[in-house]
């Protein structure tokens, strides 16, 4: 599954802007994004910086926040229902947050358990919402939001060039420090870094630095450091279990986006066995249906040939072309001709219709007053008949293949379709 990791630009601080250039929270100009692409989250295949429209396509998109954009708070996770957990977190952290609780987006650590100590990440809500909206406007849908560093053990320190616009001072080097008791970004200029990180705490620390900050880092540590490209650190952050898209910023897939995400998941490598299974199943169904259709066609053809052979044997004088055209019609026509020559009435003759009507005629009704005959149909007058008499007359003739219709004091008799006897 291909992965695209974006670096969200660091949030502007008020001290980095003059009074006349202040921009409202949640608004920013269009910008380029640093990114890395990986086929599996481990190997880096490409990296660069470009506008959102030029970003590579990927199955999963992860956005990484700058170290200074996330603050960390350690609390006992409240025992509250899922729909009320965000409000409970705001109440617990109200005194610790520098901003109003409703203006801060909160996210709890992965696998956090109620009633136990856990870390909570805090981010400016309006700013993060605006960043995600800008990406979605460019059809870049972020699946996860991760921090660049988080409280962890063993400790780790990463040196990088300071963002001048964000720092508002002369260029320098910043140490992004994370350990079991928290995470912070500290400038090397001055004595704060030495005070917070005495030599006794630097044993067993994983040190890394960007190429531009490696010399200053080694001089400050008096020890070599692992040079890590920004893209490698981005990919490292993407492998964390953190996901800051929680609560009001949790990803919601509806409509076309839900269909797109489902299709993307279905086309992912992990679903390849399912796709192969479905393809084999569909192919088996198609082959089975074709085989069954061929079998049915063969059976119908065999019955048609048997009927034609029967008609040819019974009526040898009939031409083979007539038999092949409509064997049933030929048999009915020839049987009718034989009855006519023998002087026997057929099913559509007057004698047969009168005999059938007489067999079901009600005993309490007088003889028919008048009738009308058409080939295959006999109409009798039935004035004064009750509904019960009409129904009895119809039910007695129906088993023999006769159809009776009653309308305006008349009864019409005819053979039902397929009811004629040869």
Q: Exposure pattern of 300-330 as b/e (b: 16+ CB <10 Å)? A: eeeeeeeeeeebbeebeebeeeebeeebeeb
What mean pLDDT is reported for the chain? Answer: 83
Q: Span 268-287, mean pLDDT? A: 87
Higher-confidence residue: 264 or 220?
Answer: 220
pLDDT of 272 strictly over 50:
yes
- Provide the token pair at 218: 């080694």
* Residue 22: predicted pLDDT: 43
**Cβ 372 vs Cβ 364: under 8 Å:** no
- The CATH number of 345-415 is 3.30.1360.100
**Cβ 360 vs Cβ 413: under 8 Å:** no
- Provide the token pair at 345: 């009435």
Q: Span 341-350, mean pLDDT? A: 72
Tell me the C-alpha distance between 242 and 110, whole Å: 6
pLDDT of 418 strictly over 60:
no
DSSP codes of every residue in 277-304: HHHHHHHHHHHHHHHHHHHHHHHHHHHH
**Cβ 157 vs Cβ 205: under 8 Å:** yes
Domain 3-149+211-267 annotated CATH 3.30.420.380? yes
pLDDT (tens digit per residue) in 44-78: 888 899 998 888 888 889 999 999 899 999 999 99
Q: Span 205-227, mean pLDDT? A: 90
Tell me the C-alpha distance between 77 and 117, whole Å: 6
- Residues with Cβ within 8 Å of 143's Cβ and at least 6 positions away in sequence, in order, are 60, 61, 62, 245, 251
- Regarding pTM above 0.85, the answer is no
pLDDT of 170 strictly over 70:
no
**Cβ 62 vs Cβ 146: under 8 Å:** yes
* Residue 316: predicted pLDDT: 79
**Cβ 313 vs Cβ 293: under 8 Å:** no
pLDDT (tens digit per residue) in 1-10: 789 999 999 8
Q: Which candidate, 177, 225, 221, places its Cα nearest to that of 199? A: 221
What is the domain partition of the chain in residue ranges? 3-149+211-267, 274-339, 345-415
Give 150's Cβ-side CA count (13 Å radius): 25
């Amino acid at each position: 599954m291909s992965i695209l990791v974006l670096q969200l630009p660091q949030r502007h601080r008020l001290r980095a802007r003059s009074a006349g250039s202040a921009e409202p929270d949640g608004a920013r100009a269009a910008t380029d994004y640093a990114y890395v692409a990986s086929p599996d989250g481990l190997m880096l295949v490409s990296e660069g910086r470009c506008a959102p429209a030029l970003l590579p396509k990927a199955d999963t998109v992860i956005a990484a926040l700058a170290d200074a954009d996330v603050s960390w708070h350690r609390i006992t996770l409240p025992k509250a229902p899922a729909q009320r957990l965000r409000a409970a977190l705001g109440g617990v952290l109200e005194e610790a947050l520098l901003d109003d609780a409703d203006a801060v987006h909160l996210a709890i650590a992965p696998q956090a358990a109620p009633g136990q100590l856990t870390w909570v990440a805090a981010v400016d809500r309006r700013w993060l919402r605006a960043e995600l909206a800008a990406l979605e406007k460019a059809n870049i849908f972020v699946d996860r939001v991760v921090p660049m560093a988080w409280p962890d053990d063993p400790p780790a320190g990463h040196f990088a060039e300071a963002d001048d616009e964000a720092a508002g001072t002369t260029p320098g080097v910043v140490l992004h420090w994370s350990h079991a008791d928290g995470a912070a970004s500290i400038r090397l200029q001055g004595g704060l870094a030495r005070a917070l990180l005495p030599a006794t705490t630097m044993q067993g620390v994983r040190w890394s630095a960007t190429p531009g900050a490696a010399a200053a880092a080694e001089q400050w540590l008096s020890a070599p450091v692992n040079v890590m490209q920004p893209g490698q650190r981005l990919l490292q952050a993407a492998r964390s279990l953190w996901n800051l898209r929680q609560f009001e910023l949790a990803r919601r897939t509806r409509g076309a986006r839900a269909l797109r995400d489902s299709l993307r998941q279905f086309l992912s490598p992990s679903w390849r066995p399912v796709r192969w299974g479905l393809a084999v199943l569909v192919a088996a169904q198609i082959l089975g249906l074709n085989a069954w259709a061929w079998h049915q066609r063969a059976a119908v053809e065999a019955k048609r040939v048997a009927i034609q052979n029967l008609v040819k044997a019974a009526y040898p004088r009939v031409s083979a072309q007539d038999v092949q055209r409509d064997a049933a019609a030929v048999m009915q026509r020839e049987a009718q001709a034989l009855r006519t020559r023998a002087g026997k009435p057929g099913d559509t003759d007057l004698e047969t219709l009168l005999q059938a009507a007489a067999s079901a005629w009600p005993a309490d009704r007088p003889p028919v007053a008048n009738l009308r005959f058409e080939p295959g149909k006999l109409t009798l007058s039935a004035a004064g008949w009750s509904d019960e008499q009409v129904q009895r007359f119809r039910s007695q003739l129906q088993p023999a293949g006769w159809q009776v219709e009653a309308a305006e004091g008349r009864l019409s008799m005819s053979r039902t379709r397929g009811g004629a006897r040869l």
